[in-house]
């Protein structure tokens, strides 16, 4: 589990087999490397990967064909720009972003990026698999970065986020151009709500046998979910 707050930038390149080497950029390895251990999870552009070999300024992971197919890691342009890196959340650590699992739901493209007086406004195309998780002022992870949904246009399947300057400069968002691919992960809380609502039923314990109750807005309100 991660928070979506990027700790460093790195480069990625394929090795033989399914192995990939990630190296931190320009001496920024301390947040990543200071206590990295075999088997640790690291989010690479929002993709949770397990450390198999530790290098002086990086590490080696295995990325399965399924991972490469479902994320941007296997795309040529990803090899040409930096990747966002974040180590896993520790118990008791501050959560400055939101709960990011490192399980990419789909990939989108940057449509437009424009600078305003206080931020960068970035618009991305969004696949159908992500659309129903988007809530105004809700959270989304883009290339592993925790961002807030500013606007979603369902007719055009376009997502707009506002990015503060430090996030823009300190992540690989500043390297993206219109058409660039990005990894997208919806909020995990929305996924659980979707599961409950879609199934429509829950086993609610009673003093006798469990009885099936419908999960409806009324049910949620009665149990404190207003």
What per-residue confidence (pLDDT) applies to 224? Answer: 67
- Is there a domain that residue 174 lies in? yes
149 and 134 in a common domain: yes
Distance CA 179, CA 182 (A): 9
172 and 121 fall within a common domain: yes
What's the pTM value of the predicted model, to 2 decimals?
Answer: 0.84
Q: Looking at the structure, tell me whether residues 180 and 211 fall in a common domain.
A: no
Q: Residue 208: give the domain boundaries.
A: 191-222
- Token pair for residue 44? 């690479």
Task: Look up residue 212 and give its two tokens.
Answer: 């099936």
Encode pLDDT of 148-161 as tens digits.
999 998 888 999 99
Q: 68 lies in a domain?
A: yes
Dump pLDDT digits (tens) for 27-48: 778 889 999 999 999 999 999 9
Lowest mean pLDDT among 6-10, 18-22, 204-208: 204-208
> What is the length of the chain?
226
Residue 69: DSSP 8-state: H
* DSSP H or E stretch at residue 111: strand 106-115
The Cα–Cα gap between 22 and 47 comes to: 13
């Amino acid at each position: 589990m991660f928070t979506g707050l990027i700790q460093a930038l790195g480069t990625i390149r394929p090795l033989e087999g399914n192995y990939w080497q990630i190296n931190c950029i320009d001496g920024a390895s301390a947040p990543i490397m200071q206590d990295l251990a075999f088997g640790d999870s690291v989010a690479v552009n929002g993709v949770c990967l397990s450390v198999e070999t530790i290098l002086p300024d990086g590490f080696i992971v295995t990325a399965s064909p399924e991972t490469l197919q479902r994320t941007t890691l296997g795309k040529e342009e990803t090899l040409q720009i930096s990747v966002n890196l974040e180590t896993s959340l520790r118990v008791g650590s501050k959560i400055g972003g939101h709960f990011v699992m490192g399980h990419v739901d789909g990939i989108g493209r940057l449509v437009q990026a424009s600078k305003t007086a206080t931020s960068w406004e970035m618009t991305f195309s969004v696949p159908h698999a992500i659309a129903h998780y988007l809530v105004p002022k809700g959270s989304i992870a883009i290339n592993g970065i925790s961002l807030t949904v500013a606007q979603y246009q369902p007719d055009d399947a376009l997502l707009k986020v506002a990015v503060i300057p430090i996030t823009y400069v300190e992540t690989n968002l500043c390297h993206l151009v219109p058409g660039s691919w990005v990894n997208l992960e919806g909020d995990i809380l929305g996924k659980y709500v979707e599961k409950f609502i879609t199934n429509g039923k829950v086993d609610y314990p009673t003093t006798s046998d469990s009885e099936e109750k419908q999960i409806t807005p009324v049910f949620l309100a009665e149990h404190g979910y207003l």
